[in-house]
Copies of this chain bind each other. A is one copy, B any other.
């Protein structure tokens, strides 16, 4: 048997020797496309072998891929046989049912007041009597018709200025950003902006009309850096190992973004060259990997960012496909594990302008929590681990089709709900949370997390497990004692973060007026279950808000509004970062809140 892992869907398991990758995918319920029935003809089951040995490329592989691609591990799944433990990357186009990625975010209205502005110009062609240089001619018209003072012109725009102006007979639309002309094209060009939330796992991309501030197209995709490690620590390690690794990881990410942007532009009949501003947010590590900044120090005490401040750089300098002269902006990072995406989330929910006491929380492998008390903000970061992403969980998987996402007990037996509604193939984070909460309620586990005797609890290979879904003819889907412990560690980490903030503020849980749960994962969790196991404080349900991808919304706000961009700076500036590792009696406190069950401080 070989261990086979499919990325980024996060399905893994043992497969017998001698079967193809396509067959492995079927056994592990990964929905690989296979139109021709696995005979190497349709070339749809393209995958990339990231680690581990596989059979030699076949003639079919060589037909489907270039020599270079073969060298990168690209193969047809139906022609490739694992020769040991392997990890395989499955690109989205090779999946018949796409993974759930979230782009829907908080709807926040804002008056557009972007940093870039388009202007229509009608110039007079130069003559011997008025032999004005083109730049001077252009600035004269911008001053006369739009009141602009002469400024600078990006070199890339200069490199087309004289020829393009003549093609356009001296009538054009130009985009100015803080006194710099960054784009020029035909009159009445529709200039667009780009907002991106780059998560460790998922990426949300939005195209925005710069005049109205409206989203005109959006897409969700997986972060392809997953091939270099599911968790960010592995990626930090990989990038720190060699400059080539860091470069490859950056290129992989930028290429994926560019592909997505091109596809979105095509959808709406626009061109990447009409993207004149971009705002990107990410956690600190992904932020650094994206800009190819050194990341080694992020993995070492005291975990400081190389760059904390907000970023403005020419999009071309990192290879982003936009108007050649466009700038990109990244919101500031607060700490090594409280990044620009957290700032964007706080911006989206208007945290700094909120009255009363607000707790905002973005749950993931790393969970960032912010407590605001009438403008005084403090954030912590908790290492909640990958349990919510399905890693380290026996039947864990990401939120893709077939994942059990909700569990309710009815008459002593669990009822499950899967993504897509079909047969279950694994458990995603929200499903696990539900299952454990229900198991606690039904007495399958006790408050310490220990699994008790129960008709659905059995022992296999010396380990207790709870049968969540029977699958005749296939392995049952179970929650093991170890799975419960993983979730318990995650909930304890989060609960401790909340408690640290509450104690630091000198208040009690009950004083919290509002709890905002942001992020893709937070959208799907059941708040009651979260309270039940003690992950979230036991407050009235009416005080909780689940707002979806708020980081993406924050990026869009900073894109279309100069005021919001300044507000993001202020949020990072004013945010007092609380380092959990420095809390006295950390271990004792951790132990004290490890038991499960609803609680308030």
Q: Which residues in A have some Cβ–Cβ distance to B below 8 Å?
A: 126-129, 131-137, 139, 150, 152-153, 155-156, 158-163, 166, 291-297, 301-309, 311-314, 317-318, 333, 335-336, 577, 579, 581-582
Tell me which residues across on chain B come within 8 A of A158, comparing CB atoms.
291, 293, 306-307, 311
Chain B residue contacts of A301, Cβ below 8 A: 128
Closest to A240 in B: B163
Main SS of chain A's interface residues? mixed
**Cα–Cα distance between A295 and B134 once the two chains are bound (Å):** 12
Q: Which B-chain residue is minimally distant from A335 (CB atoms)?
A: B131
Please, could you name 13 A-B residue pairs with CB atoms under 8 Å apart, sorted by A?
A: A126-B304, A131-B302, A131-B304, A133-B309, A134-B297, A134-B305, A134-B308, A155-B314, A158-B293, A159-B291, A159-B293, A161-B306, A162-B295
Are A306 and B131 interface neighbours, CB within 8 A? no
- Give every chain B residue within 8 A of A136 (Cβ-Cβ): 308-309
- Could you tell me the distance in whole angstroms from the C-beta of A382 to the nearest C-beta in chain B? 16
Tell me how far the C-beta of A116 lies from the nearest C-beta in chain B, rounded to whole angstroms.
18
User: Which residues of B sit under 8 angstroms from A132, Cβ to Cβ?
Assistant: 304, 308
Q: What is the CA–CA distance of A137 and B297 in the complex, to the nearest angstrom?
A: 14
CA distance A335 to B136 in the complex (A): 11
Contact assessment for B307 and A135 in the assembled complex, using a CB-CB cutoff below 8 Å: yes
Q: What residues on B are CB-neighbors of A305 within 8 Å?
A: 133-135
Q: What CA separation (Å) do A134 and B303 show in the bound complex?
A: 11
Residue of B nearest to A163 (CB): B294
CA distance A131 to B145 in the complex (A): 50
Q: Find chain B residues with CB under 8 A from A131 CB.
A: 302-304, 335-336, 577, 579
Task: Note all chain B residues with C-beta closer than 8 A to A128.
Answer: 301-302, 579, 581-582
| CB of A74 to closest CB in B, whole Å | 29
- Contact pick for A162, options B129, B134, B139, B293, CB 8 Å: B293
Minimum CB distance partner of A160 in chain B = B294
Q: In the assembly, how many copies of this chain are there?
A: 2
Given A132-B304, A302-B127, A308-B136: A162 and B297 within 8 A (CB)? yes
Please give the distance in Å from A380's CB to the nearest CB on chain B: 13
- Going nearest first, the 9 A-B pairs with the smallest beta carbon separation are A133-B308, A162-B306, A162-B294, A163-B294, A133-B305, A131-B302, A128-B302, A155-B313, A126-B304
Which residue of the partner chain B has the closest CB to A304?
B126
Residues of B within 8 A of A133 (CB): 304-309, 333, 335
> What is the chain B residue whose CB lies nearest that of A161?
B306
Which B residue sits closest to A301, measured CB to CB? B128
Which residues of the other chain, B, contact A163 by a CB distance below 8 angstroms? 294, 296
Question: Quick one: closest B residue to A156, CB to CB?
Answer: B317
Please give me the residue from chain B that is nearest to A133 by CB atom.
B308
In the assembled complex, the Cα of A298 lies from the Cα of B162 at a distance in Å of: 10
Chain B residues within 8 Å of A134, by CB: 297, 304-308
In the bound complex, CA of A450 to CA of B152 (Å): 54
Of A159, A295, A335, most buried by chain B (CB within 10 Å of CB) is A159
Partner of A159 from the list B152, B159, B294, B333 (CB cut-off 8 Å) is: B294
Complex Cα spacing A544 to B263, Å: 67
CB distance from A328 to the nearest CB of B (A): 10
Q: Give chain B residues whose Cβ lies under 8 Å from the Cβ of A577.
A: 131
Residues of chain B contacted by A297 (CB below 8 angstroms): 134, 162, 166
Contact check, B291 vs A135: say whether CB atoms are below 8 A apart.
Answer: no
Task: Provide the bound-state CA to CA distance between A301 and B292, in Å.
Answer: 48
How far apart sit A318 and B158, CA to CA, in the bound complex (Å)? 12
Shortest beta-carbon distance, A283 to chain B, in Å? 14
Q: How far is the CA of A578 from the CA of B160 in the complex (A)?
A: 28
Chain B residue numbers with a CB within 8 Å of A161 are 293-294, 306-307
Tell me the bound Cα distance from A126 to B333 in angstroms.
16
Query: Given that A128-B582, A296-B162 are known contacts, is A152 also in contact with B304, CB under 8 Å in the complex?
Result: no
A166 shortest CB reach to chain B, Å: 7
CB neighbours (8 Å) of A293 from chain B are 158-159, 161-162
Cross-chain contact B308 with A159 (CB below 8 angstroms): no
Residues of chain B within 8 A (CB-CB) of A152 are: 309, 312
Q: How far is the CA of A156 from the CA of B577 in the complex (A)?
A: 28
State A304–B155 Cα separation when bound (angstroms). 18
Give the CA-CA distance A139 to B313 in the complex, in Å: 19
Shortest distance in angstroms between A151's beta carbon and chain B's nearest beta carbon? 9
Contacts of A129 in B (CB 8 A): 582
Contacts of A294 in B (CB 8 A): 159-163
A128-B300 Cα distance, complex, nearest whole Å: 11
In the complex, residue of chain B having the shortest beta-carbon distance to the beta carbon of A153 = B307
